[in-house]
Amino acid sequence: MTDRYSTDFSTDIVIIGGGIAGLWLLNLLQQHGYEVLLLEKSALGNGQTIASQGIIHGGLKYALSGVLDGGANAIAKMPERWRDCLAGTGEIDLTACKVESQHYYMWSRSGFRSRIKTFLGSKSLQGRIEPVASHQYPDFFLRSVKSGKYCDLYRLPDFVVNTTSLLQSLSAPHTDRIVKIAQDSLSFNLSDQGPLESISVETDGKSVTISAQRFILAAGESNQQLLEAVNISNMPMQTRPLQMVYIKKAGLPSLHVHCIGNDFSLTPELTVTSHLAADGDQVWYLGGELAESGVGKSSIDLIAAAKKRIADFFPWVDISDAHWQCFSINRAEAKMAGNHRPDYPYMNQLHNMIVSWPTKLTLTPALGDLVLEALRSDAITPGSHENSFTAADLSGPVPAARPDWDQ
């Protein structure tokens, strides 16, 4: 029989959602002395974070467009901030997080050599894209030199993190602050004036009411539903659907590259990252324009399009007996005119509620800055709590989500 009882607790900050946004903020705010509680309804990162390719971008899009405005400069600083965290000298300790690849490449048709050269001549771009001489090609690309070079290789400041390991390294030090709540059990207790007095949730058969100085909505695509529940209508969300493809096969070489095609568009034709599956097979995870134009296609048509692109860019690779799979997933972001991609993380506040979308994994440190600044400007300081508690009082541990190829 379930032991049902109701308990009231208070804390400084409640975060709803344990993807990259929620977990990063949990680490950052605990470090700044706040007592934080993170509520997760399924597995940590079960949404966009586990589906992401894990690329920490330095702003290729801006380099390709030649437009180097504030957005470009904001993202250009991110790889260094992440690298500091991975080295243990940054704002968050990510020393336990595995890096899939320290380098990320751009593989571009030779026909665009002169255009890229013009970009590379621009002072503001220096250091963002470095041409790689063919005698210095990584092993995988050396085969292209042997088979007649028709693309050029460039090294970007980007690198790739292992998202499962990222979720684990952000959650492991704070298991006592992460609570598993029952699906659909979250309800908001609003005051007449608008601020949120408390939230109520079910955990392990217990009914719990929690009050806090600030409530942060970090639930990715589910923020929309939460915003409706608290009657906030001026922070609209947009979703951008994708249909991702992956290839799974033993012994596939490791490959981390944007493939730039004929139209030289701002979205690479193909974006490849490599991951080790739990059964030891290697995975090539395919995004970019393939995934954007794949929305609405049947899996047969999308896989056929993916095979064609792989054969086109890497004709020396044998993927004949690989296992192919597609799945659909949405990006969730603050609404932009024309459904354009935002360039910045989003944070906004009403009363004691903070709403957040990081826009990209890459931009999460900048989201952290915004949240800290909002707390400082409202003079929210760490408090003392008579009804302090740990997550173990409320639920068992919350695991990290697993990527599609390990399910």
Q: Give me the residues that bind ligand FAD (CB under 6 A), please.
A: 16-22, 39-42, 44-49, 51-55, 57, 181, 186, 218-220, 222, 242, 244, 287, 329, 331, 357-362
Of the two residues 52 and 168, which places its CB atom closer to ligand FAD in the complex? 52
Shortest reach from residue 160's CB to ligand FAD, in Å: 8
Q: How far is the CB of 187 from ligand FAD (least distance, A)?
A: 10
Smallest gap, in angstroms, from Cβ of residue 225 to ligand FAD? 7
Q: Which is nearer to ligand FAD, 241 or 253 (CB)?
A: 241
d(CA 256, CA 60): 14
Cα angle: 20, vertex 21, 24; to 5 degrees: 75
**Which is closer to ligand FAD, CB of 144 or CB of 162?**
162
Q: Which is nearer to ligand FAD, 222 or 293 (CB)?
A: 222
Residue nearer to ligand FAD on the CB measure, 238 or 359: 359
Q: Closest distance between ligand FAD and the C-beta of residue 142, in Å? A: 26
Are the C-beta atoms of residues 25 and 364 closer than 8 Å to each other? no
d(CA 320, CA 315): 12
**In whole angstroms, how close is the CB of 98 to ligand FAD at the nearest point?**
15
Closer CB to ligand FAD, 131 or 224, in the complex: 224
Q: Which CB atom, from 20 or from 116, has the smaller least distance to ligand FAD? A: 20
Least Cβ distance, residue 65 to ligand FAD (angstroms): 18
Beta-carbon contacts of 280 under 8 Å, excluding residues fewer than 6 positions away, are: 250
Closest residue to ligand FAD, based on beta-carbon distance: 19
DSSP bridge partners of 151: 109
Q: Work out how close the CB of 381 gets to ligand FAD at its nearest, in angstroms, rounded to a whole number.
A: 26
